[in-house]
Amino acid sequence: MTLRDRSELPAARRIVVKVGSSSISGEAAWRIPVLVEALAAAHARGVEVLLVSSGAIATGMPFLDLESRPHDLATQQAAAAVGQNVLVYRYQEALTPFKIVAGQVLLTAHDMEDPTHRSNARRAIERLLGLGILPIVNENDTVATHEIRFGDNDRLAALVARLVGADALVLLSDITALYTRPPGEPGAEPIAVIEADDDLSSYAFGSKVVNSVGTGGAATKASAARLASSAGIGVLVTSADQVAEALSGAAIGTWFAPSDRRPALTGPLATLGG
């Protein structure tokens, strides 16, 4: 189904929710149960929910005595190997009271480009959803190299939403909405709705940023949202602290209205809308 407005989110059949590293790792790990409670509420009313979660490297850093995100690929891979295990454990621990089982799905850009891998990924996710499992998707940072990465998990979430034909994509971070220019700058105003044919060139979202635990920024969210909305998927960008309100259809965040078309999934999916 096509959701024309954020108020229709409670009626969605299938939703992809993405959360960033800074929202659920380190001192922010307390937010995992809050996030899970909102996902479980949607799950209980019959919504098929997929979670795209960053945070493997950030979660693994303390176990390797790292105070900041490593720059070399081998240490990033090592941190991801440790952190992914801990991250999924924390999610499962929070999901258990709701009698929901998590299923881990790790993807690389090659998996989206190769038709056989893409088909296998879609089939596996469909089966997990059919069994009532909550898939937790992340980039396979342990094997991914700089040359074949998605770039950020906002883009991964948009591609996953397209892969599984989701009705909506919810991008969660530490901002309540997208602004016409970086918040705090003079003249910055929150954007309530971006229509499918709106020109985004007048908005100064800012360049991609890298903080101590992850990558991303407003620009990557706008790009990913446009990638999903161009395929007929409504997208909401808002704060992780407002996930319950978001999934309940509250008038919050920035809504990217979906295009009227849902293109067939042909060709290298990872390059669509690039």
Query: What is the rounded CA–CA span in Å between residue 35 and residue 243?
Result: 7
**The dihedral sign for the CA sequence 181, 186, 192, 197:** negative
* Residue 196 backbone dihedrals phi, psi, to 5 degrees: -60, -30
Q: How far is CA 192 from the centre of its chain?
A: 20
**What is the SS3 assignment for 187?**
coil
- Residue 141 marked ligand-binding: yes
- Residue 211 marked ligand-binding: no
- Residue 54 marked ligand-binding: yes
- Residue 153 marked ligand-binding: yes
- Residue 114 marked ligand-binding: no
Q: Which two tokens stand for residue 72?
A: 């070399």
- Residue 173 marked ligand-binding: yes
Q: Which two tokens stand for residue 85?
A: 């295990």
Rg of the Cα atoms in the chain: 17
Q: DSSP state, 190?
A: B
Q: Which two tokens stand for residue 262?
A: 């849902």
Q: Which of 230, 224, 243 is nearest to 158 (CA)?
A: 224
Look-up of token digits 């999610």: 91
Residue 236 pairs with which residues in a beta bridge? 170, 255
Residue 153 backbone zone (phi > 0: left; psi -120 to 50: alpha; other: beta): alpha
Question: Residues forming the annotated binding site for substrate?
Answer: 54, 141, 153
Residues annotated within the binding site for ATP are 18, 173-174
